[in-house]
Structure 1
């Protein structure tokens, strides 16, 4: 499988993750947490995953002038991603506050910081595919989609209202079932992949479900934080590689299933071809 050229335009955060036995309710304090710090952000996670899966990746994003920004850029670079498009701004590096319970379920609060300053005027090569998310300002997402000449994938998370022209421009939208329900405009999208947790994943073409793959049990779930990002990167690469929708979904699901056994959002991965068969992971 050749090295696909992919530009990931997206968020870069430092993840502060507290692992607890159970997630707190409203107004509740839960003690006994274990804290870890990792480089994250949906953009960074997807760029690192795509690189480890074998793509030739460059990332467009922004960090602050702080130590966290330098650490994040170096971590992304060490995964084989071209980081020349990551700007250093006057805003602090983005931060995600994450709580993960014993079953791997999570709650996340994101503080955008430097992610709000990503330059929408980036150059995209005619032979480069683009993968974006919605942790950036919508104006940036729309500008990049308009500028891109080739394939554009959008992980429409977190859920936000999208204009009709953006939905029409995007070649592949990736969401979970909650996001799909919250964004009725996606029924008009040309191709939407929806994950359903234990019920698997499906592809919708022009609003009609055309393919569905089942899930398989995962023996150990440590954290689901990075599973959706790995799924998005893998599905994008699988579609670009010319796989059928069924094979692309199965491959992406197998990658997501491999991720949930790790505590961080950027776990080690093998080449995409090693995941071509398998089942779907929890969302």
Structure 2
């Protein structure tokens, strides 16, 4: 079982020719809503990868809640751990440029009400994979890492969005997943040694005894374990929309670990899924199905 403890949002997405600068207004060419939130995105990605998934989080008692949970319900994800609060359902305001790049403002809403006491809804047990992000209170994330270790579960922590205050507990996660910018920021916060990113990743792995994974966009994925350094390429694509690519990677990566795949294979499958997610608009609607990821992988390896 994969247990995702994290955020649930409704994304409000505007398409623009180019992203505006400070104080600038640009004309939009389209608008859509889509279920989102890093926790929910990753839960759906894990489910589409073929895993059994339980979601722990919160939504508001408002009109956005049903839409925010719609694709999770369709994906047969266990939502018994999702509570309702009087805060608004979390929202993300997203602008996507014609080149596929995006800017996002997140309003946490009900996500801020996910507290350590809610971890009882996770029913953690030995062998589970617990998938976490930083869009819920940091005390809840750290408590979940501790509870998972006590239960004998494997933990995957995605460091998005960046929170300097999280640096002190990152080493509690069995697998840490960061994009290149986040890793560089945490590298400064942790005073990691090394002249380049691979060296600093090796230093992190040596210090903590854990595995660190850095996603590098079109350059693929770099991972450091206490014993090895792995590089996995991304699929060669022309991106339409990069929203949700990192979340797709995390969900597929967790599913690979839960299925017992070797690290290199779990990374390759997750990287391929993240690439395919860039070919469609939106976060959850763009998450590929397992058969499409496997077909793309087979094609890429000849």
After TM superposition, is the score higher than 0.5?
yes
* CA drift at 1:52: 1.2
* CA drift at 1:276: 8.4
* CA drift at 1:221: 1.7
* CA drift at 1:241: 2.6
2:234 corresponding residue in structure 1: 215
Distance 1:72 1:95 in 2: 9
Structure 1 residue 253 corresponds to structure 2 residue 271: yes
Distance 2:46 2:262 in 1: 19
TM-score between the two structures when normalised by the length of structure 1: 0.90
Distance 1:32 1:152 in 2: 40
Report the count of equivalent residues.
Answer: 273
Among candidates 176, 179, 187, match of residue 179 of structure 2: 176
Distance 1:249 1:231 in 2: 8
Pairs within 5 Å for 1:108-187? 108-121=104-117, 122-123=119-120, 124-127=123-126, 128-148=128-148, 149=151, 150-161=153-164, 162-164=166-168, 166-184=169-187, 185=190, 187=204
2:14 corresponding residue in structure 1: 18
* CA drift at 1:204: 1.3
Higher helix share: 2
Say which SS state the counterpart of residue 136 (structure 2) adopts: coil
* CA drift at 1:163: 4.5
Question: CA offsets, 1:181-237, max 9 Å, x none?
Answer: 01023724411110112221110124x86101223310x422110110000111122
Say which SS state the counterpart of residue 64 (structure 2) adopts: helix
TM-score between the two structures when normalised by the length of structure 2: 0.85
2:289 corresponding residue in structure 1: 270
* CA drift at 1:167: 2.4
Contact 1:59 1:84 in 2 (8 A): yes
Q: Aligned pair in 2 of structure 1 residues 115, 176: CA closer, same or farther (>3 Å)? A: same
